[in-house]
Chains A and B, each alone.
Chain A
């Protein structure tokens, strides 16, 4: 049961870009189309699963003092391997994702899950955690990519959706569109979480605040708002 719980938490409760606010740089940069989002997500699942597995398997042998260096070596090797494989077998995707494939090394999700989870749990749990978080990341990226592609280009996975009369919002596929979209999604999710919590009568915790325990300025402001309304 624990395995299933570790898997499902990544899909909503701890969805990386929307709930934990991890891995935002590639989230904003590559989601110009649904296909790119899906491809980036798949690449992250590959690296994250293997790195979690290796870190968890080696956790008893890695000395505490050099654990970060060891995690980086593992992640970097996996990313280089992924880069070579992508170049050899899915070249067009490799070209699309460009610089963001090598940057998976420093994607905070990889290091974050290695340090916060894999280094403290057994191998099956770590794999379940990686698959869940990775899948959550993929879903989030594909969703954001779809939204931007549909609004900014009038297509979805390259399929034409509207007639010629549709004038696409070009801004949505450019950098500002990513910020606007992400901001609106986060706002929507905060609103949803607040509404749910009020119904259940529990304390509201703002997105990205799972660790602050309600002590930060954003949570205080949200509480104040809550009382007033």
Chain B
């Protein structure tokens, strides 16, 4: 009996101590990790969307709140101190999990400025090919909402990877509705 109590006590103390230490460490590192993710995961995608930006879109990001309370991070692209475009991340359902896409919009005519992939876990050689310019460049200057050519739209899917291509389309269209809702706030934020 005594040894059983000891077993329970030792394990409980050990586990709770480890939980305490880890939650503390998690809190301490959270801001740095977020920064690293922005630089390493979203940064390159944003750079590929806005090749003309004169500011640093990651450093100038701003968090907006939607009507339903959802928080959205928006990255602005400024040329000569004027807002020319904004980018935001959204997700669609892919073959191997969520497909993360950075979607850029031209503020002047609400068309797409381009897309860049962030998190992709698709099949190498098939779904992963949505990264390639042959697919992603089709979005440049397209008018949202977009659809695959097999469904009457203008975007050609990567052959053999309809699900992954659809994931990107879904993310773009979701971002488009967010953009429409937030546009008045966005313009107010950066164009005084």
**CB within 8 Å of B: which residues of A?**
58, 61-63, 65-66, 69-70, 73-74, 76-77, 80-81, 84-85, 87-89, 91-92, 95
Contact A74/B11 with A84-B29, A89-B32 known, Cβ cut-off 8 Å: no
Number of A-B contacts (CB under 8 A): 51
Q: Which of B3, B7, B29 contacts A88 (CB 8 A)?
A: B29
In the complex, B62 has a CB within 8 A of chain A? no
Contact B22 A91 (CB under 8 A): no
Contact B7 A87 (CB under 8 A): no
**CB within 8 Å of A: which residues of B?**
3, 6-7, 10-11, 14-15, 18, 21-22, 25-26, 29, 32-33, 36-37, 39-40
| Residue with the greatest number of chain A CB neighbours at <10 A, chosen from B3, B15, B26, B33 | B33
Main SS class of interface, B: helix
Contact B22 A81 (CB under 8 A): yes
Contacts of B7 in A (CB 8 A): 63, 65-66
How far, in whole Å, are A95 and B37 apart by their CA atoms in the complex?
11
| Residue with the greatest number of chain A CB neighbours at <10 A, chosen from B32, B36, B40 | B36
Contacts of B21 in A (CB 8 A): 77, 81
How far, in whole Å, are A92 and B7 apart by their CA atoms in the complex?
41
Contacts of B39 in A (CB 8 A): 91
Question: What are some 6 contacts across the A-B interface (CB < 8 A)?
Answer: A66-B7, A69-B11, A73-B15, A73-B18, A77-B21, A81-B21
Contacts of B11 in A (CB 8 A): 66, 69-70, 73
Contacts of B25 in A (CB 8 A): 81, 84-85
